[in-house]
Structure 1
Amino acid sequence: MFAEGERYGGSDLGGGRNVCIDYSSVNIAKPFHIGHLPTTVIGNALYRIYNHLGFRSVGINHLGDWGTQFGKMIVAYQLWGDKETIEQGGVDELVKLYVRFHQEAEANPSLDEQARAWFKRIEDGDAEALSLFEWFKALTLKEVEQVYDILGIRFDSYAGESFYNDKMDRVVVELREKGLLKLDQGAQIVDLSDYKMPPCIILRSDGATLYATRDIAAALYRKDTYDFAKCLYVVAYQQDLHFRQWFKVVELMGYPWAKDLVHVSFGMVSGTEGAFSTRKGNMVKLREVLAAACDKTYDIICEKSPDLEDKETIARQVGIGALIWNSLYNGRIKDVVFDWDAVLNFDGETGPYAQYTHARACSVLRKADYTPGAVDYSILTDAEASAVIAAIDAFPSAVVEAMEKNEPYLVTRVVMGICAAFNKFYYEQRILADDAAVRQARLALTDATRKVIAIGLNLIGIAAPERM
């Protein structure tokens, strides 16, 4: 472990091959809410895990930035919007306009006709329409990037739905040339009845493309651009049929790399009563949940460690870490149940417990004024030390398994195992023993524990505070 340092558990298994990871994928002019947390943190963890194993991760935020809703936004803005108010209020103001449009359109259907006309102008490259479209997009990205900064997440590409507008003809032409397209009630489809699936609709009867068309175009572009070894789609399980359908279409097109397209599905986020619901029943914005986590953690730290320096920074690290850990502690397909008391518990199998264990190990090393040196590891014969060593030894294989199964929780669980073993060692054995050789060996084990916990936390996107 000491020889590998921060690369412990890592390898060159990937050989520098690219792995595209499509995650988070926020919608323009819509709130970034708590329901986006699973895809965002699962995708980020996989990004880090694949990198650690020698792959080159390519993080893609496939923005929802196309559709007739943008025509509606333009009509609503021109009728009821105010530029200064929107600049100050951001996405919240855009959402208000969007809601008002739908309310007004019920009594005035001509608004929908105007919206379609404006979206057609966007499609045709009209300067005024595109300017407003890009403004809505910039306002949204400004807000969501603030959340990504808080979470410590970055993307390599923000190529969203609009990016593939000029790339879908290739899909339609190729499907037609390969004899895969069929006419069905005016729509162009790929028949998947032989595979016990409904048809995959490529073009609607009015000639409009669908999500499947864009997803196939995106996959072709990504293969051409990145020559990926895998392309992962971190999307909720409700979209399982959609992915199975268009993955099969890519396979029928004759592309052997269709087998490298992977739907990384996950369950839903649910909370204790009222945890995420406003009085209107809307999902609470993720930024508000993150802020609440930091505030609650700050109060806990003030109570437990009133003399701790830099409480705000540590509260932020622990609060954000608690939310991420809660999302990654079980297999991704399992629904995540959210409960503030459980999430922020410093004693349970939680993020704060793991971070506190790291801080505890750091504290021991500071108190001992530890300096690495020659160590006789054969001295570490007690059961508690042996358990810590075994837990640390299990770390590399857990990281590989997490990659192979696209299951970040396997890293979370192995980190928890190390924490539990170390805390038992801490309580049962006197680390700062009188015997110099025993003391040095136990401190070396404490140092190894600290380093591996930090590596593991980093792999799932969580900070490792040295003081708590």
Structure 2
Amino acid sequence: MNVKEVFAQAIYKQTEISLEQIYRLIEVPKHPSLGDLAFPCFLLAKTWKKSPASIAEQIAQSITEDCFSKVEANGPYVNGFIHRESFTISVLNQILYERENYGTLSDGAGKTIVIDFSSPNIAKPFSMGHLRSTVIGNALSNIAQKCGYNAVKINHLGDWGTQFGKLMAAFKHWGDEDKVRKQPIAELFTLYTKFHEEAEIHPQLIDEGRQWFKKLEDGDSEAVYLWKWFREESLKEFSKIYQLLNISFDSFAGEAFYNDKMGETIEKLQGQNLLEVSDGAEVVDLTDVSLPPCLIKKSDGATLYATRDLTAALYRQEHYQFSKALYVVGHEQSVHFQQVFAVLEKMGYPWAKSMIHVPFGLYLQNGKKMSTRKGRVILLENVLQETIRLAEQNIEQKNPTLENKKEVAKQVGVGAVIFHDLKNYRMNNIEFSLEQMLTFEGETGPYVQYTFARACSILQKGNWNINSNFSLKKLATNDVVNDDSWELIKLLFSFSNQVQQAFIQLDPSIIAKYTVDVAKCFNKYYSKVKILTNNNGLQERLALVYAVTVVLKNGLQLIGVDAPKSM
């Protein structure tokens, strides 16, 4: 039980409010002189028929738990001061013992969560627009695993649909096989862009694209050959990106995987009398839940995204028995997922309530949305290669004798791109800026990485050896319990709560911002305390520094960023 829970329990004994409500009401005072925890008594005034200040006085006098050095009333607040030395020893020993397991929770023990993320369209370049789903989904997978879940990472590739008919039509009109073989993605992207430009002048091209897709669905040999070729070349290109980002998946089952499974889904809908005919198309009416009808089959017999997503959900539940399913897809698809989840509920599946759409904002270029169709994109591989190059340049200038320069440059360059995305609340739009990504100041990946490397350097200079099973019994000096270190200790202690909140809110920015807070707090402590110059209390100070490295590394790993020991 942590000290906040102890504080809540002590107050609970004196009141009629639920323990959960008390826990939610407990605050952290804005100034350390007011204590470490505070409970406002306004809510009790009506039932106790006393002023909040007198209630606070009464409750404060009744709390005698050992983990508090004192509990006092301050106006309408009950303020608790945690016993610094015993708490510090407890937190540091826990981190020293648990190390990479520090902050791990058991909330999801025995449960499976499936996370659908990244999901690029084949035959299109992997742009900055795809980055958000990829890194948010990967971070949520890591956070879910830290919470005890078995996380199944699914890359639901966009490898089916009318866009392939358009691409085939474009290839037949203007394609050059040799050019495509030399630069598959770049050339296919050029053809796709040209198709849309020409279609504005010659609208009949749209019908031609539809016809090619229908051929594909019907198993036409030429259409299938082109589709397989486009798909294989795309996957080769995508694998380069995923290797750079150090992201892996448990499944690459894309839209095409469900082609032979959709018939069963449609039969189930028919069997439950959920399908209606509307303008020749088959739909599920959703007016009772204030949603537009969910299109299952077009008038020409072609299936739609909803048909595949319904089928995918049924398949995933059957194969993974998930307790929760996340779809990390842009906010513009919100209505689509509301429809899919509503149809599954109408089909009588209780697990449909455990399916969650995790939307996010856009990457903007000069304030405008990036568009593959209009050719307005920034290629992610180019960005990653450029940030790696700039990081390598920076290392050459500042630390030319560094070992493994290329590997560290990759960790810093790629980490900068990931961190720049994840430090933002996922619903916010992000303006693309290479300069902001790579700065070593402020809320950036390189700043946190550099702080970690600095802490590692201190440990090396102090000959810190964690393998000695060092354990704190008491503190030799007050260096580890002064005001600056105390704020750091409380931050380190809150790691598991940050993990839990990031999962509850499905927001990796909580972890990214937390690592920045820890880095700032440590740098403040480092600037004021001479860690290595005094042997008295040296091991305690090094233990604190080591605890910082554990938490920073764990936090960065959760969001998919490496922590180099030297930079």
TM-score clears 0.5:
yes
Q: Classify the secondary structure of the residue corresponding to 2:394.
A: helix
Q: In the alignment, which residue of structure 2 is the partner of 1:52?
A: 146
- The AA in structure 1 aligned to 2:541 is R
2:315 aligns to what? 221
Tell whether the 8 Å contact from 1:192 to 1:199 is kept in structure 2 after alignment.
yes
Where do 1:310-349 residues align within 5 Å?
310-349=404-443
**Offset of residue 309 of structure 1:** 3.2
1:272, 1:339 within 8 Å by CA — same for their partners in 2?
no
How far did 1:392 drift? Answer: 0.7
Counterpart for residue 383 of structure 1: 483
Question: For the residues of structure 2 that align with 1:304 and 1:274, how far apart are their CA atoms?
Answer: 36
Question: What SS does structure 2 have at the residue aligned with 1:357?
Answer: helix
Give 1:429's match in structure 2, choosing from 529, 532, 536: 529
Matched, 1:439 2:545: no
Distance 2:167 2:450 in 1: 47
Counterpart contact for 1:61–1:157, Cα < 8 Å: yes
Residue 45 of structure 1: CA displacement? 0.3
- Shift in Å, 1:270: 2.0
Deviates more, 1:69-78 or 1:410-419: 69-78
Q: Tell me, what secondary structure is at the counterpart of 1:388?
A: helix
1:458 aligns with 2:552: no
Matched, 1:248 2:342: yes
**Amino acid paired to 2:238:** V
Q: State the secondary structure of the residue aligned to 2:96.
A: coil
Report deviation, 1:337.
2.8
Distance, in Å, in 2 between the alignment partners of 1:276 and 1:216 is: 29
Please tell me the residue identity of whatever aligns with 2:147.
L
Q: Counterparts of 1:322 and 1:129 in 2: how far apart (Å)?
A: 41
CA contact (8 A) 1:376 1:441 kept: no
Comparing 77-86 and 448-457, the one that deviates more:
77-86
Residues 20-419 of structure 1 mapped to structure 2, 5 A cutoff: 20-102=114-196, 115-271=209-365, 282-372=376-466, 373-378=470-475, 379=477, 380-419=480-519
Q: CA deviation at 1:275?
A: 12
Q: Which has the higher contact order (CA 8 A, sep 6+)?
A: 1
What is the CA–CA distance in structure 2 between the aligned matches of 1:427 and 1:101, rounded to whole Å?
60
When the two chains are superposed, the root-mean-square deviation of aligned CA atoms in Å is 2.3
Taking the aligned partners of 2:371 and 2:279, their CA distance within structure 1 comes to: 41
SS of equivalent to 1:2:
helix
Aligned length: 466
TM-score (norm 2): 0.78
CA–CA distance in 2 between the matches of 1:207 and 1:191? 18
Is the Cα–Cα contact under 8 Å of residues 113 and 151 in structure 2 kept in the other structure? yes
How far does the alpha carbon of each residue in 1:243-269 deviate from its partner, in whole angstroms, 9 at most, with x for none?
111111111111100111100011111
2: distance between equivalents of 1:392 and 1:106? 58
Q: Deviation digits for residues 364-395 of structure 1, max 9, x if unmatched? A: 01111212334345342211221221111010
Name the larger-Rg structure: 2
1:105-150: CA deviations, max 9, x gaps?
Answer: 6677776666555433432334443232111101001111100100
Mapped contact 1:189–1:200 kept (Cα < 8 A): yes
Taking the aligned partners of 1:129 and 1:204, their CA distance within structure 2 comes to 20
Shift of 1:406: 1.0
Higher mean C-alpha displacement, 158-167 vs 121-130: 121-130
Which whole-Å CA distance do the structure 2 matches of 1:182 and 1:73 have between them? 32
Is 1:9–1:396's contact at 8 Å kept on the other side of the alignment? yes
* Worse-superposed segment, 327-336 or 391-400: 327-336
CA gap of 1:111–1:241, structure 2 versus 1, over 3 A, is closer
Change in Cα spacing, 1:117 to 1:238, as seen in structure 2 (3 Å) is: closer
Separation of aligned partners in 2, 1:153 and 1:264: 19
Structure-1-length-normalised TM-score: 0.93
- Code of the residue aligned with 1:289 in structure 2: it is V
* In 1, Cα distance between equivalents of 2:220 and 2:97: 60
User: Residue 50 of structure 1 aligns to a residue in which SS?
Assistant: helix
Identity %: 45
User: Residues 70, 238 of structure 1: CA spacing in aligned structure 2 closer, same or farther, 3 A cutoff?
Assistant: closer
Q: Which AA in structure 2 matches 1:17?
A: K
CA deviations 1:38-69 (Å, max 9, x no partner) are 10100000111111222111111111111233
**Where do 5+ consecutive residues of structure 2 fail to align?**
1-94
Q: Is the 8 A contact 1:394 1:414 kept in 2?
A: no
Give the whole-Å Cα distance in 1 for the aligned partners of 2:326 and 2:154. Answer: 10
3-state SS, counterpart of residue 97 of structure 2: coil
Task: Decide whether the 8 Å contact of 2:122 with 2:230 is kept in 1.
Answer: yes
Q: Do the aligned residues in 1 keep the contact of 2:214 with 2:302 (CA within 8 Å)?
A: no
In structure 1, give the amino acid aligned to 2:324: K
Q: Give how far 1:19 is off.
A: 0.9
Shift of 1:74: 3.4
Instruction: Rate the CA distance shift 1:341–1:75 in 2: closer, same or farther, 3 A.
Output: closer
Deviation per CA, 1:418-444: give whole Å up to 9, x if none.
1111111111101114234x1110001
Single out whichever of 53-62 and 311-320 deviates more from structure 2: 311-320
CA distance in 2, matches of 1:428, 1:214: 59
For the residue of structure 2 that corresponds to 1:21, the secondary structure is: strand
Distance 1:395 1:162 in 2: 41
Secondary structure at the aligned position of 2:295 is classed as: strand
Deviations 1:282-312 (A, max 9, x none): 1111111111212222233333334433332
State the alpha-carbon separation in 2 of the partners of residues 146 and 303 from structure 1. Answer: 28
1:261 and 1:275, CA in 2 relative to 1: closer, same or farther beyond 3 A? closer
Q: Paired residue for 1:449?
A: 548
CA contact (8 A) 1:295 1:315 kept: yes
